[in-house]
Each structure stands twice: as structure tokens, then as C-alpha cells.
Amino acid sequence: MPDLDSVLQKLDRDARAAADWGQVASYIPQLAGVDPAQFAISVVTADGRLHQAGDTHVPFSVQSITKVFTLAITLGRAGDQLWTRVGREPSGRAFNSIVQLEQENGRPRNPFINAGAIVTTDAVLGRRAPREALAEIIRFVRTAAGSEDIHINETVAASETDFGHRNFALAHFLAAHDNLTNSPEKVLGTYFHHCAIEMTTAQLAMAGRFLVHAPGLPRLVSPRRIRRLNAMMLTCGHYDGSGDFAYRVGIPGKSGVGGGILAIVPHTAAIAVWSPGLNRYGNSHRGTEALAELTTRMDWSIF
Ligand code: GLU
């Protein structure tokens, strides 16, 4: 087996030598200003050791990656009841598609597209105030990462609130189909805030340890739930690029428009990669390339 540290150093060099970094997300003004030419990768192996290369101390907006944590919390609170409101199928559509939600009568395809995550956020909220639900989400993430130094960037949350017209449209559609128990404004306020959590790749890889399912790593949910969260990440974690990610990378992963990806090699490792430029599906371009190379070199595909 090749030496993991040498492989990570090479991935960092290759990323920096690349001509094409992809395009940063422009629909959230705070993210539009981020320099795309950045790269970081952190891997926690089953023995608990952290291996990394690149800009691993730069915090970035994890965005949709928080949907993994909110799904874990929601399944803990609502159990299988959640699946009456959200499906478990890949969407084959853009992350913020409105047309599919209308066609399917307000039941989102899965909890990782925006409409599904808005429903999940509504379930996490229950009858609570947003700050209580957000405190639970942040507590979960900090516990998972073993770090108290993880925060919400209020400016990013405000930027999304001001420009999140599609998300407001989705939330109102959900409300029109009786699939929200709170007002669209209250749910989206909570949703935008948890999407605006910032982490470094080191913190994110640490936060992903609970999904690896290895002795000695933190255990926050049952083994059955770990399998199911990984299954959702594999089939739905990269929007309409999920099939291509499974084909090229071969492990469960969840991306965010901030350019981060959390990927899990079951029983073996948690990986966080970040490079802000996105490919045409809205997933990190250099991050995806690096993961494809990493799983090939380390023979980490689950297939
Ligand atoms: N906060 C982003 C949105 O709702 C999340 C999307 C993503 O990371 O893919 O548009």
C-alpha cells in the first residue's frame, strides 16, 4: 500500500499545478469572492491519526455538508417518521430544482437536495426556537469533531438570506403542500445558519469519524444508522453528479457549494477535501479529482 502522507502531498502538488480550478458559487455573494485556487485535504484513519496536506488550517463554509449532520440528528429525533415527508432516491436534478418538487407534490426526493434539507431542518426545529435547534446542531458537530472552535459565519448566513430566492420558493412550495410545520422564514433562517458553519478540512475530517464505524473512533449513532447515512451519501450526496462520483471515486461523500466534500471509506477513514471552484454539478472540481486519485492509489473504492 502506498504511503498515505506521500499520496496526499502529491495530490496537493497536482492540484496546485492544475490549470482549471472550476468556478466558485456566485449565487451567494459571500462565497463569490473566495479565491478558487486553494486546496486542502485531511484524512483521519481508523487508528485515529490525522494525515493532511495543503491549506488545512483555512476555515471554509461547509454549506450542504451540514445536511449529513442534520439528517443524523433528525433520524435520532423523528426516526423513520421522516421518510413520510422526504424520499430516499437520487434526484437526477440540480440541488435547488423547483420543477421536481412541484411534479412530486411537495415531497422532496432526498434529504440532501435543498428541498429535502429544508424539511429535515423543519423536523430538527420541531416546536423549538431556531437558536435552540442551532445550538443542538453546533453541539453535535463540535462533539463529532472534538473541537469547540467551530462557529457559524453570520455574514454568510445573512448573505444567503438576502439572496436565497430559490430556497424561499422551495420552502413556500413545501408549505403549500403541508410539508412544513414551521413558517418558511423560520425554517430557512435555521437552514441558512447551519449551512453557514465554517470548518477547516482537519475539523471536518474529524467530524466525519463517527461515520467510519471503527473501534476507537467516536460513536454518536448506531451502526445501523451509520450504514444508512453512508448509503444516502453514496446515492444522493453529489446531487445530479452522484452517479459520476460513485463511478469515479467509489465511496460515500457529501459535497457543499463552499467547495468542501466529506467522504467516508467505511471502517477505514474519514476524508475532508476543500477547493472552492466547482464543476458543472456544483461539486468541488479539484476536490473530486483529488478524491478519485486518492481512492485509486489507496485502493479505497468500496466496489
Ligand atoms: N446553502 C446552500 C443553498 O441552500 C447549500 C447548497 C449546497 O451547498 O449545495 O443553496
CATH number where 142 lies:
3.40.710.10
Measured between alpha carbons, how far is 232 from 220 in angstroms, rounded to an integer? 17
Please indicate, yes or no, if residue 303 is contained in any of the structural domains: no
Q: Same structural domain for residues 209 and 191?
A: no
Closest among 113, 120, 9, 55 to 260, alpha carbons compared: 55
Q: Same structural domain for residues 79 and 53?
A: no
Q: Is 257 annotated as a binding residue?
A: yes
Q: Same structural domain for residues 179 and 232?
A: no
- Is residue 280 packed enough to be buried (19+ CB in 10 Å), middle (13-18) or exposed (0-12)? exposed
Q: Same structural domain for residues 78 and 185?
A: yes
Q: Same structural domain for residues 93 and 20?
A: no
Atom of ligand 1 nearest to the CA of 258: 8
Q: Same structural domain for residues 95 and 191?
A: yes
257 catalytically annotated = yes
Write a three-state SS string for the chain.
CCCHHHHHHHHHHHHHHCCCCCECCCCCHHHHCCCCCCCEEEEEECCCCEEEEECCCCCEECHHHHHHHHHHHHHHHHHHHHHHCCCCCCCCCCCCCCHHHHHCCCCCCCCCCHHHHHHHHHHHHCCCCHHHHHHHHHHHHHHHHCCCCCEECHHHHHHHHHHCHHHHHHHHHHHHCCCCCCCHHHHHHHHHHHHCEEECHHHHHHHHHHHCCCCCCCCCCCHHHHHHHHHHHHHHCCHHHHHHHHHHCCCCEEECCCCEEEEEECCCEEEEEECCCECCCCCEHHHHHHHHHHHHHHCCCCC
Among 13-27, 181-195, 205-219, name the one with the lowest average pLDDT. 13-27
Measured between alpha carbons, how far is 96 from 63 in angstroms, rounded to an integer? 13
Please indicate, yes or no, if residue 143 is contained in any of the structural domains: yes
Domain final residue pick, 164, 197, 230: 197
Q: Same structural domain for residues 73 and 126?
A: yes
152 phi and psi angles, rounded to 5 deg? -95, 135
Q: Same structural domain for residues 144 and 234?
A: no
Q: Same structural domain for residues 53 and 103?
A: no
Which of 114, 261, 288 gets mutated to test ligand 1 (max ligand atoms within 8 A of its CB)? 114
Query: Considering 62, 119, 124, 257, which one is annotated as catalytic?
Result: 257
Q: Is 160 annotated as a binding residue?
A: yes
pLDDT at residue 37, rounded to an integer: 93
Do 212 and 265 form a contact (C-beta atoms < 8 A)? yes
pLDDT at residue 211, rounded to an integer: 98
pLDDT at residue 28, rounded to an integer: 87
- Domain containing residue 17: 4-63+198-298
Q: Same structural domain for residues 161 and 205?
A: no
Mean pLDDT of 189-197: 98
pLDDT at residue 288, rounded to an integer: 98
- Per-residue pLDDT at 1 exceeds 90: no
Q: Same structural domain for residues 86 and 176?
A: yes
Q: Is 141 annotated as a binding residue?
A: no
| Atom 6 of ligand 1, nearest CA residue | 64
**pLDDT per position as a tens digit, 65-116:** 999 999 999 999 989 999 999 999 999 998 899 999 999 999 999 999 999 9
**pLDDT per position as a tens digit, 17-75:** 998 999 998 888 888 999 999 999 999 999 999 999 999 999 999 999 999 999 999 99
Measured between alpha carbons, how far is 38 from 58 in angstroms, rounded to an integer? 9
Please indicate, yes or no, if residue 93 is contained in any of the structural domains: yes
Query: Considering 61, 64, 91, 242, which one is annotated as catalytic?
Result: 64
Domain final residue pick, 173, 197, 221: 197
**pLDDT per position as a tens digit, 220-277:** 999 999 999 999 999 999 999 999 999 999 999 999 999 999 999 999 999 999 999 9
pLDDT at residue 30, rounded to an integer: 85
How many domains does the chain divide into?
2
pLDDT at residue 26, rounded to an integer: 86
Domain final residue pick, 147, 169, 197: 197
State the pTM of this model.
Answer: 0.97
